[in-house]
Structure 1
């Protein structure tokens, strides 16, 4: 029986001219037949969800190591929250929701065990061999390291999803940009992702959704941990205003409900601000296509000046009181030791990575390639796997509690 695509639920009726159109995608590096039941961006999202890398996110640190408590966010729950906010923004702005969700779901694939601590440790270890960048590692995972399909390595995602992955925070080349990580440059040589332009609006919504999600849930997790308190949040004008609003309406509300009411209002306020700013930017620049957005010379989806100031205040507060808290720093030191020890062990004995990773001729490879191979293996580990590997290889493993 043949499908009638016009009767399926991904028509173009609500998509704005500035949105990405899955039916006119720039395609995939390796050509594939069109799906009769899913748009190109739906296929990308589905492929992302079914990867090993996506499943591993459930045991990778956001702020608190997973076994410190069952209710703290992991990299997976953070990713799901980002995807929900990105999809809400995309719907309000008449964008392609599947593309926005796909970019949100894949944006943290390259994160190491122990979150930013592991990334910083690997970056230092590889400082003489190109360094380590989680965004570039995400691209390596979806273009090379995931090996699920008979016809190609990686996921063979569309140009638009890959562009959003590498450029969701803005152009990578041009005035004021940092050197582009080598894995991105290498891939770009065969599949030009327009590194000098902004991304489409779908990727921009995923990027701002990331900020909204972690600004909110890191406060929530910080309160849950006891490392920050409601009284400390009074120094943040936006949070203090929302707190007063909730307490005025519900004077006898118990603390867990009070915290949730504050957090949901924070997300709503930030989302509504981004929608208003983006709509104003669209009205002013009048883009007639997704490429007009890419070449607008500015980020279109961002906070207003008022909320950008609030965003900065929240980030400064979190760095001072949560990310750099002595208890968090103590755990970070232990995590850094584990990553450094494992890297040294695998460089000295590739067989310690397991038979399937013990490739013949490893010792004859140039040093940079050996380091890249160890980095690929180590960065893909979950927190729990890294701790178990360290216990297997070393007499003493530090406690991450």
Structure 2
């Protein structure tokens, strides 16, 4: 009897699944929607200009000839982002579908004005997934940044999305910030947000399909530096060398390279950082905040263009010492620059908030001033662990064989 009841129950469950789960409850026909991949937000006069990069399905196949660009850009101005997007329905016969949004780009004017207001709509919209990246375009408009035709990927937004993820993993000065990271920074005490910068070159020749079908490509973009914020407002920029301090201290470095002057001889050697971990230790000394950074880094020697025999233990130690000093100098320079700007992008204040909540309550209101004079000690453990198969420069090896 129990077996019979189990069989009936199983049949009922299967029937229910077949009836109710044959399709998505909120599905939409592809022909009825426009998939938005990127959004550009510009401040124009007292309004926002919103530019949406939308997929053109008819141009998506790589097997079909490229007769025109694979994306369409719609643009409208309004007092708010929500109004501008609604206005765009007057130009598009399809519903704008935001679930696949990959990139939101601000111009510098919007970033300096404040990005909380334009982001408020995206935080609230149920269709928008909180996994898109954000950036600030430098010297150009956000509309231009979402309009150019990318040479590598069919969709320009995917090209930038993948490039930023790859660059963060392989190049320390680049920092990929998604909307979750940004929202967390807005809600935490003692830490300020950053956004990566984008530059465009030779843009006027890159707005047509020729940028894809002809070589060399005209327009190029590259991620450079990080924009330093206070609250939701952009206040300054850190260049590539200075922004390394942020990525190291926030433990965002998975791999990078550095070119360093050779000790005691002309030329340079290049190291590949393969592991780096920074521990932050907040302390109170004489009633004032202090920070100690314990940095543990391992690297390989990549290339050597000076007269150095890596089999020699003393030479190897000299290279390791130079690499350590180079990283230590980069960290100190980046910290000094952030202190000069007056924005705690490293989260030193957050560390005090966690460990010394009572003292933090007293320091919170004037933390920006305390951060500018905060003493930061760096304890750097740096190890060169491998140097490949060749232990001396190629020309030196050939000379020794003659």
User: Structures share a fold, TM > 0.5?
Assistant: no
| Structure 1 or 2: more helix by fraction | 1
Structure with larger RCO (C-alpha < 8 A, sep 6+) = 1
| Structure 1 or 2: more strand by fraction | 2
Q: Which of structures 1 and 2 has the bigger CA Rg?
A: 2
TM-score by length of 2: 0.25
TM-score by length of 1: 0.25
